[in-house]
Structure 1
């Protein structure tokens, strides 16, 4: 992430607004057909297809240690990580905004599951936002 003036996608997960670096995002979709993965980790919501390519869906709520919400219609923020497509399921994908600062370490504990998944914060026109770590979300809550 380039820091000052970098573009951020503001998302909401488990009632909290956070940010993802927009430069890593391919698109935001509403997954239609999701195929469950038997015996997969809890944060692995399933598989879907995106333009004939497999898309691994990661439930960000579960990755943070929260219970998944079955009744919601989440958005999938599509990112490429290590050559594979992932859809990060968030409660809301809100807007693209500019960062007004560079990522900084957290000064306080953000609470339940957030410290490992969002180890930094970044200033924006909307105020400070937790900056989600894409690799940590994909790895899930049990990764070391």
Structure 2
């Protein structure tokens, strides 16, 4: 089995994997401007390389506490990706490494038709199991979160 290159990150204490081919860049997000009326997971908008990015907090989707409000407005580290021609910055607590992983199937409890359809598999980290995330599904789910 051939492994795939993955970016290892932490979101709310949860270890996650982003397919390196879908990562546009990793960035430090500056000030975030609120977006009234947006989905609950949308922190707001931020300028990134002369473009506007929608900044997402996906912690609730992963079953961990939302980022504190004051930290949400300050920005921080994020994984930038493009979905349907739009730039998104997925807020992360930390970025750890880029490494090759052989991904296994997602656990049976995380069915592909349910609320966790953005988890496409798992990878074994040094001391934990990491969730492989599908950025298209993750962005779609975060954008629809009320």
Aligned to 1:68: 67
Corresponding pairs, count = 138
Deviations 1:20-49 (A, max 9, x none): 101111111111121110011110111111
Secondary structure of 2:116's counterpart equals: helix
Are the structure 2 counterparts of residues 5 and 126 from structure 1 closer, same or farther at C-alpha, using a change threshold of 3 Å?
farther
Are the structure 2 counterparts of residues 12 and 78 from structure 1 closer, same or farther at C-alpha, using a change threshold of 3 Å?
same
- Comparing 124-133 with 11-20, greater Cα deviation is found at 124-133
Matches within 5 A, 1:1-144: 4-65=2-63, 66-72=65-71, 74-99=76-101, 101-108=102-109, 115-123=116-124, 128-140=129-141, 142=144
Q: Distance in 2 between matches of 1:104 and 1:50?
A: 34
Are the structure 2 counterparts of residues 28 and 106 from structure 1 closer, same or farther at C-alpha, using a change threshold of 3 Å?
same
8 Å CA contact retained: 1:98, 1:125: no
- Comparing 128-137 with 18-27, greater Cα deviation is found at 128-137
* TM-score, normalisation: structure 2: 0.78
Are the structure 2 counterparts of residues 6 and 127 from structure 1 closer, same or farther at C-alpha, using a change threshold of 3 Å?
farther
Structure 1 stretches of 4+ with a deviation exceeding 4 A read 123-127
Structure 2 unaligned segments of length 5 or more: list them: none
Are the structure 2 counterparts of residues 70 and 4 from structure 1 closer, same or farther at C-alpha, using a change threshold of 3 Å?
farther
* TM-score, normalisation: structure 1: 0.79
Are the structure 2 counterparts of residues 4 and 71 from structure 1 closer, same or farther at C-alpha, using a change threshold of 3 Å?
farther
**1:132 CA displacement:** 1.2
CA RMSD of aligned residues (A): 2.7
Structure 1 unaligned segments of length 5 or more: list them: none
Deviations 1:89-113 (A, max 9, x none): 11111110111x244231455xxx9
